[in-house]
Structure 1
Amino acid sequence: MTTPGTVSVAALRQYVRAAEASGIDIRPLVTRAGLDPAILETDDDRINGEQFQNFIRQLVDMANNPILGLETGDFVQPGSYSVLGYITMSCSTLGEAVARIAPFEKLVGDMGTTRLSVHGDTLKLTWHCNYDDRVVRPHLVDNVFASWINYARWLADDTTTAPTAVQLRRQSPDPKQEAAYHQRWHCPVVFGAEEDCITLPKALLDSRLRQPDPLLRKTLEAHALTQLASLETDSDLTTRVKHCIQKQLNQGITRQDLVAEDLGLTSRTLQRKLSQEGVSYQRLLDEVRQQMAEDYLRNSDMAIPDIALRLGYSETTSFHRKFKVVAGKTPGEFRRGES
């Protein structure tokens, strides 16, 4: 399974606008998804993908609407795509805008990946969803495709712009509700397909956009590249935190503030960044402790109470209990088994 990664708050807001337009109170959904409601007031923050997937699942369950994903596409805005939205706004043609999707879509979130391919006079955009929830996936794909089509029409200032066809892996929600797809997309829609993809005439890529600004686009792309580099660095954060924890444990200490300081962060910032990656400091500490404990038990004659002390446990019984939960046997049993 592909990790859910992180998602921009801008992507979450699109679902929030759709829910509020339907009269749904999103506050309990946000809380149950493990999100701080205050995050909706930020502009450039990110949330954990598991939380985003959980929020959509709860929204789907509450709305009881089999085409919820399709309808949320009606609420797309340039800001829904973070800086990618503003990059595409400044492109000269639809082709330029489409070419920016794959390189910069990670800024919107890690929900999926786009592949572009050309077949004669036809362009195909295939989207692979990274999420594993079988209820969420079809709604997420519907949202992505509906948002693309609506946004492309807005960019080109042409409501008649339409794909050649849309293929969806999901099964038909209902023969009557299939009309909603045709009404919005103005093209054949195939359900139960082998992949999720949109095909469109290659000539459509020459469509002129409403606000071309090449200089602004270059500036925005430079900013986007900086943000991408930051995300790639953040993705390695757990590895660096584990390394710092291991260095501390070798000295018999375990302090989150010192780990944060070693990484040039405040404790609060470290906690927030780890949360965005779906982990906690305590979880990483437990993982490093377990790894080091097993190494000591295999490769040293250090007494078990001394190992517990070295790993920062105040009592040997706590070490025994924690080790057995993970390994299924006590430290002593583990050492004898390895011998």
Structure 2
Amino acid sequence: MSNFDTGFVSSAYVRVLFEYLKNRGVDASALLGVAEPEAADNTLLRYSMQLWISFLRSAATHLEDPLLGLKLGQIIRPAHFGVLGYILASCPTLGASLLRYQAYERLMHEMDKYPMEMHVDGSEIRFIWNGGDPNGSARLSHEFAVAAFSQISRAMSGEHLVATEVWFVNSEPLDTRPYDDFFGGKVLFNQPTTAIQVSLAYLNIPLRQPDPTLVHILEKQAEGFLTQLPKESEFVMHVRRCIANLIHSGEPGLEQVANALSIAPRTLRRRLHEHQTAFRELLDDIRKHMAEQYLRDPSLQLTDVAQLLGYTEQSAFQRAFLRWTGTTPKTFQKKMPD
């Protein structure tokens, strides 16, 4: 599994997908099996990268559109990124905006390794997304990432920026014209990595609405958001992802998760203790987060939510939710805005 297939993405990405599907008359909640994230959550609420990839696949299959990733990236606007988007759009140049993006990237996604690298080659700069499956497991997410990178740069600068070259790891589609038309430069497939190359001079292009005062104010808010994100080791993040992947099949036990991670149960317990956490704490935290998300979906009954969280009895879920939040699932739902 590549590092682009693991990690987390902000719910801002999921909101973009919901927007796209709703504009095409699709019941996104029913299709994806989750409620639409609230705008207020788009910085701190996160989804596993594997779940994001599965959302894209489900949407592409339903729409019978293999170009979904490319098209989805083309509707991105700075506002979709919340506070970070306004910071980026208020910078003086594209280069300054990129530096701010690097500083607050965790607000949008978090991978096992730094997901985007920059390489300067003479008068060109190449942005590289590490990882990727030549067989196409993350093709849609790669195409979305590169298209979004191009689109948001164009939106902030007001310039139709043309890439010198664009690389994709997946095989060449039958019709490459949509890629050529959007990116404007040479688009290559079956490459060793996913990347986009542009003129180094692009970094000096001024943005349309520079506002250093606003940047200063919003950066304080962004710093606050960063402190609220979980600060976990790569190992704990792997355990979290494993639990989340197994949870729909029933309550995953420590031995089951250890087996999936190819380590001994005793080793898993010890390593979690070294990271000042425990298996039950992680399981409860994941279930609480997922429960709050599912309970926002009016199409799901409490029995459905309990089953999705791996509970065999609704009463067990209700007791657990009361323990986590101090309120019942029904009371939580009643507090949701109409």
TM-score range, shorter chain: 0.5 to 0.7
Report the Cα distance in structure 1 between the residues aligned to 2:110 and 2:291, rounded to whole angstroms: 16
**Paired residues of 2:158 and 2:208 also in contact (CA < 8 A):** yes
Q: Does 1:117 align with 2:103?
A: no
In structure 2, relative to structure 1, the CA distance for the partners of 1:245 and 1:74 (3 Å cut) is closer
Unaligned stretches of 5+ in structure 2?
241-271, 294-308, 311-338
Residue in 2 aligned with 1:83? 83
In structure 2, relative to structure 1, the CA distance for the partners of 1:187 and 1:153 (3 Å cut) is same
Residue in 2 aligned with 1:13? 15
1:43-58 residue pairs with structure 2 within 5 A? 43-44=41-42, 45-49=44-48, 50-58=50-58
TM-score (norm 2): 0.65
Secondary structure, aligned partner of 2:172: coil
Worse overlay, 48-57 or 197-206: 48-57
Report the Cα distance in structure 2 between the residues aligned to 1:72 and 1:12, rounded to whole angstroms: 11
**Paired residues of 1:167 and 1:189 also in contact (CA < 8 A):** yes
**Paired residues of 2:134 and 2:169 also in contact (CA < 8 A):** no
Q: What CA deviation, in whole Å up to 9, does each residue of 1:35-56 have, x standing for no partner?
A: 2x15345433413314323222
In structure 2, relative to structure 1, the CA distance for the partners of 1:245 and 1:169 (3 Å cut) is closer
CA offset at residue 120 of structure 1?
1.4
Residue in 2 aligned with 1:212? 210
In structure 2, relative to structure 1, the CA distance for the partners of 1:204 and 1:197 (3 Å cut) is same
CA offset at residue 214 of structure 1?
1.3
RMSD: 3.4
**Paired residues of 2:60 and 2:68 also in contact (CA < 8 A):** yes
In structure 2, relative to structure 1, the CA distance for the partners of 1:48 and 1:66 (3 Å cut) is same
Q: Does 1:156 align with 2:157?
A: yes
Specify the code of the residue in structure 2 equivalent to 1:272: H
Secondary structure, aligned partner of 1:126: strand
Secondary structure, aligned partner of 1:162: coil
Residue in 1 aligned with 2:330? none
TM-score (norm 1): 0.65
In structure 2, relative to structure 1, the CA distance for the partners of 1:273 and 1:222 (3 Å cut) is farther
In structure 2, relative to structure 1, the CA distance for the partners of 1:274 and 1:16 (3 Å cut) is closer
Unaligned stretches of 5+ in structure 1?
247-253, 260-266, 277-281, 284-339
1:1-339 residue pairs with structure 2 within 5 A? 1=1, 2=3, 4-31=6-33, 35=34, 37=35, 39-40=37-38, 42-44=40-42, 45-49=44-48, 50-110=50-110, 113-128=115-130, 135-159=136-160, 161-174=161-174, 177-233=175-231, 239=272, 271-272=288-289
Q: What CA deviation, in whole Å up to 9, does each residue of 1:217-260 have, x standing for no partner?
A: 123223223322322436669758995769xxxxxxx9x8xx9x
Specify the code of the residue in structure 1 equivalent to 2:55: F
CA offset at residue 211 of structure 1?
0.7
**Paired residues of 1:74 and 1:147 also in contact (CA < 8 A):** yes
Q: How many residues align?
A: 254
Report the Cα distance in structure 2 between the residues aligned to 1:154 and 1:41, rounded to whole angstroms: 21
Residue in 2 aligned with 1:330? none
**Paired residues of 1:166 and 1:197 also in contact (CA < 8 A):** yes
Residue in 2 aligned with 1:294? none
Specify the code of the residue in structure 2 equivalent to 1:81: F
Q: What CA deviation, in whole Å up to 9, does each residue of 1:181-221 have, x standing for no partner?
A: 11111111011111111111111111110111112212322
CA offset at residue 109 of structure 1?
1.8
In structure 2, relative to structure 1, the CA distance for the partners of 1:269 and 1:126 (3 Å cut) is closer
**Paired residues of 2:123 and 2:200 also in contact (CA < 8 A):** yes
